[in-house]
Amino acid sequence: MHVPMHDYQAEYRTLKAEIDGAVQRVLERGRPDWGPEGPAFEEELGRLAGLRHMVGANSGMAALKIALLALGIGPGDEVITVPNSDIASTSAIHHVGAKAVWVDIEADTFNMDPALVEAAITPRTKALLPVHLYGHPADMPALAEIAQRHNLLMVEDACLALGATVNGQPLGTWSQAVAYSHAPSKQLGALGTAGSVGTNDPAVAERLQLFAGYGQRRQRSYLVERWRDPGLDLLVEGVNERLDEVQAAILRAKLPHVPAWIEKRRADAHAYTAAFRGTAVTPPVERPGCRHTYRNYVVRVPQRDEVLRRLAHAGVSSAILYAPPLHVQPVYAHLGYRRGSFPVSEATCDDLLCLPIGPFLSEGERAYVIETLLAITHAL
Ligand SMILES: *Cc1c(COP(=O)(O)O)cnc(C)c1O
């Protein structure tokens, strides 16, 4: 048996008619730019994510940058985030000219530890940027309370957490903006690169739209081919990191399936967790009040690298994602951190392992992963 981390071919086979139809619709419309697919996707995604406004972007990294730009964060500002994430969580802050300040995480959720945030706040701190890693929401009520007390903005990196909630409330409830990635391996993936950024604040939404598309009012772009072209208003220096029409159409084809796909991820996770309880394999937590959407199912195992090797030998793909942490990566060597700077991030990164999960993992494959992993850890 071979169990992949993601079975893209199975996904395409299942959705072939809808995806082919979506691409064809864009090709035949003759409106390759500023067409109707982007706004339609934004409305549908807003409904799915429980937010009033969504703006398409061409990656999760772009979504984070657009959010920071729209909130006026730039040179001279500090933004507090975590070292155990995709580099985009940190590099987006640097790309807008601000400075990222890392704080360590909670060992059980892998997310920003609210108890460590206040010690990192300086007079220059402008915002918090928590990450909902692997699909488990960060402690938003606690972080929002800190942000409010110190008059800070908040941008959420929900690139791995579409559909996650805290106390039944969607992500974006506690912050000014929340960024999603639609990279192919995320809960809602494009066939290439795509992202989105959401908010419940209409004034922020307008600025997100401006910054995503050159700084020009978008309504004008949608009317540009009509006789009553209202003329070009350039209001801010934006970027051109919009969602394109083909990806928007493909995402619209997949979007109706996302709730069932998330339920399948949760069912896989619960089956794994039941099987691993009381063994050498430590399952992930799902905190009370939190809805984890399991982009990754992350266990902690002794002799992790050897376990990964033996799993691969038995045909089971697994992965070490968002590890080692950013502060020990060559790109940030000049910042002067080393091992020991963020001990919880380091310890989790040393023994975590992501197992196959998701809509196209069969029950037989899931059972094989459990049986194989338990046999390997017993034998070590
Ligand atoms: C994937 C990801 C990003 C970046 O998204 P892209 O679409 O790849 O640019 C940012 N943050 C986290 C936590 C991610 O997983």
CA of 225 relative to ligand 1 center, distance in Å: 35
Q: Is the CB of residue 159 below 6 angstroms from any atom belonging to ligand 1? A: yes
Q: What pTM did the predictor assign?
A: 0.97
Q: For residues 16 and 136, what is the distance between their CA atoms, to the nearest angstrom?
A: 31
Q: For residues 23 and 71, what is the distance between their CA atoms, to the nearest angstrom?
A: 34
Q: For residues 240 and 159, what is the distance between their CA atoms, to the nearest angstrom?
A: 20
Q: For residues 63 and 61, what is the distance between their CA atoms, to the nearest angstrom?
A: 5
Structure tokens belonging to residue 74 = 């730039």
What is the DSSP annotation of 142-158?
HHHHHHHHTT-EEEEE-
Q: For residues 285 and 110, what is the distance between their CA atoms, to the nearest angstrom?
A: 10
| Strand pairing report for 290-291 and 165-166 | antiparallel
Q: Is the CB of residue 135 below 6 angstroms from any atom belonging to ligand 1? A: no
Residue 198's DSSP bridge partners are: 54, 178
Q: To test ligand 1's pocket by mutation, which of 65, 112, 157, 298 has the most ligand atoms within 8 angstroms of CB?
A: 157
**Residue 118 DSSP code:** G
Q: For residues 245 and 323, what is the distance between their CA atoms, to the nearest angstrom?
A: 34
- pLDDT tens, the chain, 380 aa long: 999 999 999 999 999 999 999 999 999 999 999 999 999 999 999 999 999 999 999 999 999 999 999 999 999 999 999 999 999 999 999 999 999 999 999 999 999 999 999 999 999 999 999 999 999 999 999 999 999 999 999 999 999 999 999 999 999 999 999 999 999 999 999 999 999 999 999 999 999 999 999 998 876 566 555 555 567 788 999 999 999 999 999 999 999 999 999 999 999 999 999 999 999 999 999 999 999 999 999 999 999 999 999 999 999 999 999 999 999 999 999 999 999 999 999 999 999 999 999 999 999 999 999 999 999 999 99
CA of 279 relative to ligand 1 center, distance in Å: 32
Q: Is the CB of residue 88 below 6 angstroms from any atom belonging to ligand 1? A: yes
Q: To test ligand 1's pocket by mutation, which of 5, 110, 111, 160 has the most ligand atoms within 8 angstroms of CB?
A: 160
In 150-242, DSSP assigns E strands to 153-157, 165-166, 169-170, 177-181, 195-199
Residues in CB range of 355: below 8 A, 6 or more apart: 272, 297, 298, 299, 316, 318, 369, 373
Q: For residues 189 and 253, what is the distance between their CA atoms, to the nearest angstrom?
A: 11
Q: To test ligand 1's pocket by mutation, which of 58, 59, 66, 86 has the most ligand atoms within 8 angstroms of CB?
A: 86
Which pLDDT value is given to residue 218? Answer: 74
Structure tokens belonging to residue 311 = 């799993």
Ligand 1: nearest atom to the Cα of 295:
15
What is the DSSP annotation of 316-371?
B--B--S-S-GGGSGGGGGG---TTSSHHHHHHHHHEEEEP-STT--HHHHHHHHH
Element (H, E) at 253: helix 245-254
**Nearest of 311, 300, 318, 307 to residue 377 by alpha carbon:** 307
Q: For residues 164 and 168, what is the distance between their CA atoms, to the nearest angstrom?
A: 9
In 158-283, DSSP assigns E strands to 165-166, 169-170, 177-181, 195-199
Fill in the amino acid letter for 227. Answer: W
Ligand 1: nearest atom to the Cα of 193:
7
Q: Is the CB of residue 181 below 6 angstroms from any atom belonging to ligand 1? A: yes
Q: For residues 291 and 78, what is the distance between their CA atoms, to the nearest angstrom?
A: 30
Q: Tally the C-alpha atoms within 13 A of residue 11's C-alpha that lie toward its C-beta.
A: 25
Residues in CB range of 349: below 8 A, 6 or more apart: 84, 320, 322, 323, 324, 325
Could you identify the residue written with the tokens 């909130």? 71
CA torsion sign for 68, 70, 74, 77 is negative
